[in-house]
Structure 1
Amino acid sequence: MITRADVDQAARRTAGLIRRTSVMEADPGPFNGQVWFKCEFMQHTGTFKARGALNRILASKERGELRADVGIVVASGGNAGLANAYAAAQLGVPATVFVPEAAPAVKVSKLKAIGAMVVQGGAEYAAAYQAAVVHAEETGAVYCHAYDQPEIAAGAGTVGSELLEQLPDVATVLVAVGGGGLMAGVAAAVEGFAKVVAVEPETAPTLHAALAAGEPVDVAVSGIAADSLGARRAGGIAFSVALRCGVESILVSDEQIVAARSALWNDYRMVVEHGAAAAYAALASGVYVPGKDERVAVILCGANTDPATL
């Protein structure tokens, strides 16, 4: 469980190390309310995850857990690996990143360029996760979960507290969900000020299934956004925060995600990955319909994609 206090602490700890990303109003369109984009895809490494990675690793260093010889380890489809490798490099410690075979080449190449040791294997994130846990146990490296650690989620939540400063009268925040770390952090940050709507692919409905079952459960994962929203189970932190904050989960199709990503490029010249486009797909497809004069923020959370596919 995390709260706004945890997010505020993360903001103080990472101050000066994180980019304050811009907020841009969308063009007038078919929406009832006003729509704004939180351009988090412009964050270090092209993903919001740099926030949580820096918070986790800095907190570990404060506690004396971070060793200069073995550093950190993370399992990731790409984005968490990039973020943690970047954070480790900033602090001068090594990073080992376990990724599934399906990880996009553009992300693997960037990981290596940052200086991470990349270990690739397994069909899904779950296999990379198990290998990373074993590595942490055997070496003493600090394990950085892709989404289900309090410091990771609280760091991600600084997107939400920053958004409130930039758009204090925002009513609704649309957030794409894989394992749910970003959603949990944002929901904690804006609790009492705005509602959060979780947007998930129909082909990877982790939070949707958890809310229906009353607990996190495994789901089958596939689809266009599986490289970034491909967790098989919602995190325990995400589930508990979603229940506390009344987070609603809605589903979008692969076709709607692809169309939203194309629209962001065609209309705004924004290059985002499919997982980031999922949040906008809820609006662009009409799956989420704002109320009259409702002020909606869409978090565009990542840009690690191949522009040639636009």
Structure 2
Amino acid sequence: MTRQNTPAPLTEIWRGSLLESQHHGHAVVCNGKGEIVHSWGNPDQVIYPRSSCKMVQALPLLTSGAAARYGLNSEQLALACASHNGARIHVDRVSRWLDQLELSEGDLRCGAQMPRDKEVMHGLIKTDDSPCQIHNNCSGKHAGFLTLAQHLGAGPEYVEIDHPVQQACHEAFEEVTGETSPTYGIDGCSAPNFACTVTGLARGMGWFASAHTRSTRSDEAAVQLRAAMAQHPELVAGEGRACTALMRDMGGKVSVKTGAEGVFVAILPEQELGIALKVSDGATRAAENAIAALLVSLGVLDKDSPSAKAYMSAAITNWNGIHCGEMRPAAELQF
């Protein structure tokens, strides 16, 4: 473990006997009290959590009473926290959710996106059809926003910063991170994304991890959301994705979530620990590698599991299938 102001080595790319590339960044592990247990790089680095904080954005959906009013189930709560592939299991459920609200695809504000799921994507291409907003990887989160907006009797432009939905998200974000957000940016799905330190994000995940030790409405909501994610890993991301593979291999005991530009978080309820990391150059491969390494080090992911082998010690092969090297966590990251 290192404690410094500059980014620390997180992931190494080896080709033969040469360290060919290296990804640096920041990582923090916090306990349920918000205290730093481990850190690498600069714990005070200010970042955008991007999609890694969707479970925080979903808190008002439950604490407001909206989820109970509309009878949302655990699958819908998982989708509210998801960055999904746009597979049939995702788009069909989001479509039914909108029907339940007596709303349509046009009420979403996330924008149309070509689905990552190959079957659905190829189907659109073959029929010369265009993707719609339900295919957007954030459509579940936005269905949650619409549910909250309808519950509050608020207007349709729910992604605006002064809208009651986003004001509720802002309040929840600052509550769980224990910080006053210094700024916000507009995410890929058009919703505001509030900034915090890496420590603040890890503190928030530690708060989620220890929520079962408390009994406020927010704590009960946190338990429901983290449980929904762990129970439905295929809805949080999808086949071929790190979030889904890691949660499956940890048997529902840990919830993890990726975010754009090299962010990854984890919620460990049994240890009452939260993890947050940010890769400085935004590399997804490094974020996946680093989170897998930390989960192995903390004893919740078997180093011989399929996901650990795929993301922590990934072999590098060329087009002829020849083994050329490997991606591995930096020695500094392991403890």
**Which range, TM-score by smaller chain?**
0.3 to 0.5
* TM-score, L = length of structure 1: 0.32
Q: Which structure's CA Rg is the greater one?
A: 2
* TM-score, L = length of structure 2: 0.30
Higher relative CO (CA 8 A, sep ≥ 6), structure 1 or 2?
2
Q: Name the structure where strand makes up a greater proportion of residues.
A: 2
